[in-house]
Amino acid sequence: MTFRIATLALLAAAAVAPAAVAQRTDAAFAATTLQISAHGEVKLPPDQAMITLGVETTASTAAQAMGANAEKMNRVVAALKAAGVADRDIQTDQLSLSPQYAYAEGQSPRLTDYQASNQVTVTVNDLTRLGRLTDAVVGAGATNVSGISFGLANPVAAENTARVAAVKSLEDKARLYADAAGYRIGRLVNLSEGGGTEVQVARPMAMMAARNVAATPVAAGEVDVRVDVQGIFELAK
Q: What is the pLDDT along the chain (237 residues), one digit of tens a residue?
A: 544 444 444 444 445 455 554 555 555 556 799 999 999 999 999 999 999 999 999 999 999 999 999 999 999 999 999 999 999 999 999 999 999 999 999 899 999 999 999 999 999 999 988 888 999 999 999 999 988 899 999 999 999 999 999 999 999 999 999 999 999 999 999 999 986 555 655 444 433 333 444 567 778 888 999 999 999 999 998
pLDDT single digits (tens) 193-216? 986 555 655 444 433 333 444 567
Give CATH for domain 48-151. Answer: 3.30.70.2970
Three-state secondary structure call for residue 79? helix
What 3-state DSSP class applies to 55? strand
Task: Answer yes or no: are the C-beta atoms of 39 and 219 closer than 8 Å.
Answer: no
User: What pLDDT does 30 receive?
Assistant: 64
Beta strand segments in the chain, E:
33-44, 48-59, 90-102, 110-124, 144-151, 184-201, 223-236
Radius of gyration of the chain (CA): 31
Q: String of b and e for 97-121 (b: at least 16 CB within 10 Å)?
A: eeeeeeeeeeeeeeeeebbbbbbbb
- What does the alpha-carbon distance between residue 193 and residue 171 come to, in Å, rounded to a whole number? 14
The amino acid at residue 75 is R
Per-residue pLDDT tens over the stretch 119-129: 999 999 999 88
Give me the phi and psi of 45, to 5 degrees please.
-65, 140
C-alpha 203/C-alpha 220 separation (Å) is 7
What residue type is assigned to position 53 of the chain? L
29-45+155-236 topology per CATH? Translation Initiation Factor IF3 (3.30.110)
Largest CA distance in the chain: 103
The full set of domain ranges for the chain reads 29-45+155-236, 48-151
**Cα separation, 213 vs 135, whole angstroms:** 10
